[in-house]
Amino acid sequence: MDCLFCSIISGEIPSTKVYEDDEILAFKDINPLASVHVLIIPKKHISGINEITSENAEIVAKIFTKIPEITRILSVNESGYRVVSNCGKDGCQSVNHLHFHILGGEKLSEKMC
Ligand code: AMP
Ligand code: ZN
């Protein structure tokens, strides 16, 4: 399967990793929109939010369980941060592998869009 984030997981495409375990990977976004901008992805390919099911939802819970730890690594846990997941065309999803943006390190816009 031709998937950019699967290639990052395999190491075929380099990334700046900030957290990794057997099931998830967090790495710096190549085009940061805030001074801290990290993507958290499941290692198992899921195309996006619309593909979350009761069979694979455990990994989504795992990602959210790890966010406090990952944001501590990024030193934004106490200052605050935003978690974003874009879905589909209107949501401006550009990579079809489920991912959660962590944005922080500065005061973010009060506008969500
Ligand atoms: P989205 O637009 O929500 O699908 O998010 C995809 C994100 O992947 C964008 O913020 C891109 O900047 C980021 N991105 C694309 N290619 C790479 C890459 N090779 N390494 C790190 N981040 C990437
Ligand atoms: Zn993938």
Mean pLDDT computed over every residue of the chain: 98
Question: At residue 1, does pLDDT exceed 90?
Answer: no
Ligand nearest to the CA of 47: 2
Ligand 1 site-directed mutation target among 4, 94, 98, most atoms within 8 Å of CB:
94
Nearest Cα residue to atom 20 of ligand 1:
30
The 10s digit of each residue's pLDDT in 69-86 is 999 999 999 999 999 999
Ligand nearest to the CA of 5: 2
Summarize the confidence of residues 13-31 as an average pLDDT. Answer: 98
Summarize the confidence of residues 85-111 as an average pLDDT. Answer: 98
**Domain 4-104 sits in CATH 3.90.950.20:** no
Reported as a pLDDT band with limits 50, 70 and 90, residue 110 is very high
Residue ranges of domains in the chain: 4-104
Check if 97 is active-site.
no
Q: Looking at residue 29, what is its pLDDT? A: 98
In the chain, the DSSP E strands lie at: 17-20, 24-28, 36-42, 81-84, 100-104
